[in-house]
Structure 1
Amino acid sequence: MGRYDLALIGFGGVNRALAELISQRGERLAKELGFALRVVAITDLRAGSLVDTDGIDLAPLLAAEPRELSFAGRTGGSADPRNERVIREVPADIIVEATFTNPTDGEPALSHVRWALEAGKHVCTTNKGPVALAGRALKQLAAEHGVSFEFEGSVLSGTPILRTAERMFGGLQITGVQGIMNGTSNYILGRLEEGIDLPTAIAEAQELGYAEADPTADIEGHDVQLKVMILANEVLGADLRREDVFCEGILAITPHEVRDAASKGLRWKLVGSATRHEDGSVDARVAPLALPAHHPLAGISGPVNAVAFTTDLLGTVTVSGPGAGRIETAYALLSDIIAIHQRHADDDTAPTRPVLKETHRV
């Protein structure tokens, strides 16, 4: 049976959840998928870095309180994350990037991805920044080095929206996408509909784990802006920059407006959309809209996300599912790893590590 060695860049909620899946379900996954997963390196801004090319024992790391975890003093450990050194030099097959999203320039995740691809290593990431801001260049770099750059979790976390469009919509012409892509803002709007004021709704979302300590990217629409860019560029063939996408959040909406709309059969939603015109140009925007009850996105409630595709042969096709959650997002990374295996297991020409040839013999 083949094996993929992983380097986890960032050890917050998502990569920690992936480590839990590997630790708790590793044998079952190996039997089901036909390959094993082993973590050989972890880096984290707070904890430092840990390297063991024979495989890291994940159990004690997962048992530790996350805020108290430190790799310093452990064999192969350091207080310094040493991201570039780990990414370039540790013999990992796949770099799993799950650090924080920087909507301005994508750093440091953008450099993490670039270093990995330059080193001839596959990359999977949930980070929207590198994909939205430099996706085309990174895909070209991956192609030049014969490796994969996968990012399914960058739009709807564990809900497979990009591969659904890529693999299931063959023969269709997709002319537009419209979606609810931020569970935090959707939850908050639902609470406003029930008469709760905005600060209280935000606090509730934070307590439930839907919103970060700083919810700015959620309520001002920046999170959705990046996701719309990714969808437009990947599905509609656009090449949008951040300044091309108009962005308005939900800060100006009052509970009175939301309840008044509900009394008229309308529901306020923060909607990201992109439309391709006959001349090939693509317009995209993020803005709150009062949707009629019959709209495919009107019934999407709480932290659930959904994207409606406009197609020539099937009309509107809507895909919905969890748009947040550490386990759900970790599954997106697992699905990326599976996609890498499917794409490269039979590729004897790509400059991939020997494990791929070993996997080919399964």
Structure 2
Amino acid sequence: MNIAFIGFGGVGQGLAEILEEKRDHLKTEYGLETKVVAVSDVMKGAVYDPDGLSIPELLRAVREEGSVEEYPDAQSYGWDSLKTIQESNADLIVEVTFTDVKTGQPAIDHCEAAFKHGKSVVTTNKGPVALKLDELQTLADENDCFFGFEGTVMSGTPALRLPKTTLMGNDIQEVVGILNGTTNYILTEMEQGMSFDQALKQAQEYGYAEADPTSDIEGYDVRYKTAILSHYVMGEAINALEISCEGIADMTQEKIQEAKAEDKKWKLLARIKKTDNGVRAYVAPEKLDINHPLAGVKGATNAILYECDLSGPIMLTGAGAGLKETGFSLLIDMIHAHQAKKSIIVR
């Protein structure tokens, strides 16, 4: 499998490290042999060699020199993202650019270009999946391509693949999730006595929250993940901007203590529920009884609860962020892409 990285920030580098560390295991266990042939990043430059690039040398160049174009003796340098997708000999595009979630760009353009040129895509970008899943999946199918996006909801925790594979045969009536580690961390620290501002500042110091934390604390990040879950798991496409969304910006110590007195805890939840009138989805803080399975989820951890008609409630919990964890989500998709390709060849 020849791979081109479109975007080579922390997540892309995390996946590259995994591919190097797990090279022998991937070949022995899954028959997957990978070769990185290209990297294109608007900040870190671009490099291409159809015979393959050394991952250790790529990582050295970008981490020590600040640019992949410090990689020695490659065939080409300076290609932009679309030229890399269209003209490289990559079979699979790892799309991990900084993308505007409201427009899905530039990731949507990258996915479309890849599929039109017969190249599979794995991505962690929420925008393309939340906004154009059906169109992109159709384009991928028409060109015999794989489209993987496991990491868009809970990073390396397989919130999308679990209900589609392991829980097959169930009718999932409701999905409830803690899908943002930053807000869950803030609420956990407030339970220990911190004010909202103190907890947010600490979250920023630890790298859980961005300098501009609006997307997290206002619930916008969860809103797009909710749209993906509604469409992919529950079968109903809902415009992300039409999902009712309330964050935790107004959370106070008074509310936290009031909940404690009631043996309850505040959690920012995504809820997607089947009703007689279709699927209803919203994002809002809720007071959960202390015995509720999601009430005990602490810190920057994510969790999701599937209410199933046959198996009963099934809960999945794990890291919802992290460079290696998110890189792992891309690896999951790469293995499935390889297995899907093998299946087509066998048939």
Interval containing the TM-score (normalised by the shorter chain): over 0.9
Q: Tell me which amino acid in the other structure corresponds to 1:82.
A: D
SS at match of 2:272: strand
Which has the larger displacement, 94-103 or 179-188?
94-103
Alpha carbons 1:10, 1:98 under 8 Å: kept: yes
1:1-362 equivalence runs, <5 A: 4-64=1-61, 66=63, 68-72=65-69, 74=71, 75-76=74-75, 78=77, 80=78, 82-279=80-277, 281-348=278-345
Counterpart CA distance in 2 for 1:133 and 1:268 is 30
**Mapped partners of 1:227, 1:139: distance in 2:** 18
- Structure 2 contact 307–313 (Cα < 8 Å) conserved: yes
For normalisation by structure 1, the TM-score amounts to: 0.91
CA RMSD, 1 decimal: 1.6
Q: Comparing 99-108 with 65-74, which one deviates more in the overlay? A: 65-74
TM-score, with length taken from structure 2: 0.95
User: 1:248/1:76 Cα in 2 relative to 1: closer, same or farther (>3 Å)?
Assistant: farther
Sequence identity (%): 42
Aligned to 1:351: none
What is the letter of the counterpart of residue 57 of structure 1?
A: S
Distance (whole Å) between structure 2 residues aligned to residue 196 and residue 257 of structure 1: 13
CA deviation string 1:8-45 (max 9, x = no partner)? 11111111001111223322322222121111011112
Q: Tell me, what secondary structure is at the counterpart of 1:35?
A: coil
Cα distance 1:107–1:81, how it changes in 2: closer, same or farther (>3 A)? farther
Q: Which amino acid is the alignment partner of residue 168 of structure 2?
A: G
Amino acid at match of 2:230: A
State the AA in 2 paired with 1:225. R
C-alpha distance in 2 between matches for 1:325 and 1:241: 27
Conserved 8 A contact 2:226-2:240? no
Q: 1: CA distance between counterparts of 2:99 and 2:199?
A: 23
Q: Give 1:271 shift.
A: 0.2
Q: CA deviation at 1:207?
A: 2.2
Work out whether residues 244 and 284 of structure 1, in 8 Å CA contact, stay in contact via their aligned partners in 2: no
Structure 1 spans left out of the alignment, 5+ residues: 349-359
Structure 1 residue 219, shift from structure 2 partner? 0.9
* Aligned partners of 1:44 and 1:81 also within 8 Å: no
- The CA deviation at 1:209 is 2.2
- CA shift, 1:227, in A, is 0.6
What CA distance in whole angstroms lies between the structure 1 residues aligned with 2:207 and 2:159?
Answer: 23
Amino acid at match of 2:55: L
Structure 2 residue runs without a partner (length 5+): none
How far apart are residue 90 of structure 1 and its match?
0.6
Amino acid in structure 1 at the alignment position of 2:141: A
Structure 2 CA distance, aligned partners of 1:67 and 1:258?
46
Structure 1 residue identity aligned to 2:175: V
Amino acid at match of 2:152: S
How much has 1:334 moved relative to structure 2?
0.4
- 1:234-279 CA-to-partner distances (Å, cap 9, x unmatched) read 1110011122211111101112211321232111111011111234
Query: Can you list the C-alpha shifts for 1:44-75, whole angstroms capped at 9, x where unaligned?
Result: 12111111111111213323564851134543
CA contact (8 A) 1:94 1:124 kept: yes
CA distance in 2, matches of 1:255, 1:64: 47
Q: Is the 8 A contact 2:178 2:302 kept in 1?
A: yes
Secondary structure of the residue aligned to 2:211 is coil
Equivalents in 2 of 1:306, 1:49: separation in Å?
37
CA distance in 2, matches of 1:81, 1:71: 12
